Amino acid sequence: MSIDIKNLNIKSTHKHLIDGDFSAQELTQECLNAIKEKNKDINAYIEVFEKTALEQAREADKRIKEKKYSELTGIPLAIKDNILIKGQKVSAGSKILENYTATYDSTVIKKLKDAGAVFLGRTNMDEFAMGSSTETSAFGITKNSLDVKRVPGGSSGGSASAVAMNSCMGALGSDTAGSIRQPSSFCGLVGLKPTYGSVSRSGLIALGSSLDVIGPMGKTISDVEIIFEAIKGKDELDSTTIEENKKTKKQEIKIIGVPSFVNETDGLDNFAKNNFNESIKKLESLGYKIKKISLPNIKYAVPSYYIILPAEASANLARFDGVRYGLHKDGENGIDDYFKTRGAGFGKEVRRRIILGTYVLSAGYYDAYYGKAQTVRELIKKDFEDVFNPSNGETGVDAIITPTTTGPAFKIGEKINDPIKMYLEDIFTVPANHAGLPAISIPSNKKLDGSFDGGLPLGLQVIAPQMDESVLFEIGKNFLGEE
Ligand code: GLN
């Protein structure tokens, strides 16, 4: 059987592999061919693991023959360049880690290896996951394969383009303020930011440790669910991980909240606004009750994030001193070595955040900035708790929807010189990170023939209570008409 990656997803591919229609080695080779053909143009991958991928595929074929397989056995995936794979280079899109080789497997990779997945390569990203366009990478920009004049979003833009250009069956990204959901929206994919702590961060190069989470990106809800099920779980290497998803009695999901904030957002363009209203109508026609809700502190989500995130990032990035990892530049003395190494190794956006972060944490300013931002974060969390509280009768909702972004993928170069414009990309996505809640982006204007109504893809974001990823999958499947 000839392999047509475009018309396959993880679920259908799994069936073909088990039925012997094609082998994992043939499939992997097909993906490698697609990368060879398309990556020159798109730059989704920083590096392709041709040799190890084919070895893993051979191993997978053996497992399939012996009937010791999982749904991910022999499935080729792309991995964001901030997730450690033992023996492979990993750089977080930064010069400072160029040529650094991972000495151990991240927990998610360990789990995917156990499941028999194949790793095709590492994907491009904004440097240290700071950005929304994959333009801040030290390894060149990534283009959106649906329109090469546009960005794929970020920071997991390489992973998004890798899936969208039909070179892999799914990908891992990381999400601190929207880095899985926004690129998924820009590339017409499904992207899940899991509950904070449901997926181990061990082996993820840290950005903001209280916000970071690894998650899947794919073509369907089921595909994303399959990867999530494989990577989640408590891990002794990450003390913030929590027990398995709660097994509450399955209750009917009936009420979906729409925050008034959506219509009060200045930057929301008409294309996205109209599409969001269409999505509401569609959900109503599926039997959901739509309710207006208010999250009074959500308007402070972006400003407080850009205090908390630089503070945490500046602390996390202190370890890159030219002694232990990656790049080293010689100066006059030890201190000068640090200056030279960090000056040469970090890009502009990273340096901006380190300076901002050390400032808001410094004595005399800590309470005014960092302390205040933490208080605001608590208020945002409480806003969500209030609307999700089932005993809240009239005001309680089962899920919340917003557009994922204020518009479709923007042009390369359009926002890169205006940090505030770029930061506002997070406006709908960052609240879920503040509150640690699971959130998914699903294509909201995809037509049956696979094209997008109005030209470029848009996303609908669904947010659920903690550990209630199943709510997202259920609504998502109903919305997309998926089995
Ligand atoms: N736009 C966010 C930032 O630049 C994206 C962060 C993320 O989710 N990794 O910080």
For residue 188, the CA-to-ligand 1 centroid distance in Å is 19
Q: Enter the tokens of residue 50.
A: 């041709």
Ligand 1 pocket list (CB less than 6 A):
129-132, 155, 175-179, 207, 309, 425-426
Of 106, 145, 155, 304, which is the active-site residue? 155
Of 70, 145, 174, 179, which is the active-site residue? 179
For residue 478, the CA-to-ligand 1 centroid distance in Å is 29
Backbone φ and ψ for 291, nearest 5 degrees, come out as: -130, 135
Secondary-structure percent of the chain, ordered helix, strand, coil, rounded to 5: 45, 15, 40
**CA 244 remoteness from chain centre:** 21
For residue 423, the CA-to-ligand 1 centroid distance in Å is 8
- Residue 286 confidence (pLDDT): 97
Nearest atom, ligand 1, residue 433 CA: 8
**CA 198 remoteness from chain centre:** 14
Closest CA to 373 of 387, 386, 361: 361
Q: Is 159 one of the annotated active-site residues of the chain?
A: no
Closest CA to 140 of 47, 207, 204, 31: 47
E strands in 296-398: none
- Residue 330 confidence (pLDDT): 92
Q: What is the pLDDT along the chain (483 residues), one digit of tens a residue?
A: 899 999 999 999 999 999 999 999 999 999 999 999 999 999 999 999 999 999 999 999 999 999 999 999 999 999 999 999 999 999 999 999 999 999 999 999 999 999 999 999 999 999 999 999 999 999 999 999 999 999 999 999 999 999 999 999 999 999 999 999 999 999 999 999 999 999 999 999 999 999 999 999 999 999 999 999 999 999 999 999 998 765 555 578 899 999 999 999 989 999 999 999 999 999 999 999 999 999 999 999 999 999 999 999 999 999 998 888 888 999 999 899 989 999 999 999 999 999 999 999 999 999 999 999 999 999 999 999 999 987 766 668 999 999 999 999 999 999 999 999 999 999 999 999 999 999 999 999 999 999 999 999 999 999 999 999 999 999 999 999 998
Q: Is 304 one of the annotated active-site residues of the chain?
A: no
- Residue 51 confidence (pLDDT): 98
CA distance 214 to 207: 12
> 91: part of which helix (H) or strand (E)?
none
Q: Enter the tokens of residue 482.
A: 């998926």
C-beta separation of 153 from 109 below 8 A: no
Nearest atom, ligand 1, residue 305 CA: 10
- Residue 325 confidence (pLDDT): 83
Q: Enter the tokens of residue 252.
A: 């009917």
- Residue 469 confidence (pLDDT): 96
Q: Is 80 one of the annotated active-site residues of the chain?
A: yes
| Domains of the chain, earliest start first | 1-483 (3.90.1300.10)
For residue 247, the CA-to-ligand 1 centroid distance in Å is 31
- Which protein residue has the closest C-alpha to ligand 1 atom 10? 130
What CA–CA distances, in Å, run from 453 to 188, 446, 473? 11, 6, 23
pTM for the whole thing? 0.97
